[in-house]
Amino acid sequence: MIAIINYNAGNITSVARALQNIGQEFIITDDIKKLDAASHVIFPGVGAAGEAMAYLREKKIDLWLKNYIKTGKPLLGICLGTQIILDYSEENDTKCIGLVAGSTKRFPDKLTSGGQALKIPHMGWNSVTFHHSHPVFQNISPDAEFYFVHSYYPAPSDDSAVLGITDYGINFCSVLAVNNLVAMQFHPEKSGRPGLQILRNFCAWGGNA
């Protein structure tokens, strides 16, 4: 069973619809006992780091995630659920969960590309350059584009955690992977066929890269 963590961070409905689209059974919950029973866990989210971490600490889901990752079962982070698995976020000056060493940083104020100013948040379709293959990204075309909406991005301390990068004025980590954890800054549930393929791959993944 796939579990989607519910921590009042938005966008859960879109993830649920995507799983329905691929015929995958799931539950949406913040109940630790129900999360324990899951074979795979999706940690999505749209919102502010400070508010999200307050809810996770209240429900003790931050501690649960630290224990879950040690089980070897697969964990998928999406957007805010990617940003707050690091140690710290510049958004709201927030101490985060710390599943991966590093911090979440805000885009510089004056981003440009080809002499043109870029808007923040980064919003729309963009590509990902992958450093190496990974089971969660099997059968994804190198030309595929994914949907982004964010002003902050993950910056792992160890480059080996960076699976994919995206160019938006700067090159930033858009996909990170460590053991049984894969997390992406873009929204697979809003990224059409490539996004649905990523979700299919995740649901079939055993947790080994």
Look up 40 and say whether it is catalytic. Answer: no
The one catalytic residue among 122, 150, 187, 203:
187
SS3 assignment for the chain: CEEEECCCCCCHHHHHHHHHHCCCCEEEECCHHHHHCCCEEEECCCCCHHHHHHHHHHCCHHHHHHHHHHHCCCEEEECHHHHCCCCEECHHHEECCCCCCEEEEECCCCCEECCEECCCCEEEEEECEECCCCHHHCCCCCCCEEEEEECEEEEECCHHHEEEEEEECEEEEEEEEECCEEEECCEHHHCHHHHHHHHHHHHHCCCCC
The one catalytic residue among 96, 173, 189, 203:
189
The one catalytic residue among 40, 79, 96, 150:
79
Look up 189 and say whether it is catalytic. Answer: yes
Look up 187 and say whether it is catalytic. Answer: yes
Which residues are known to be catalytic?
79, 187, 189
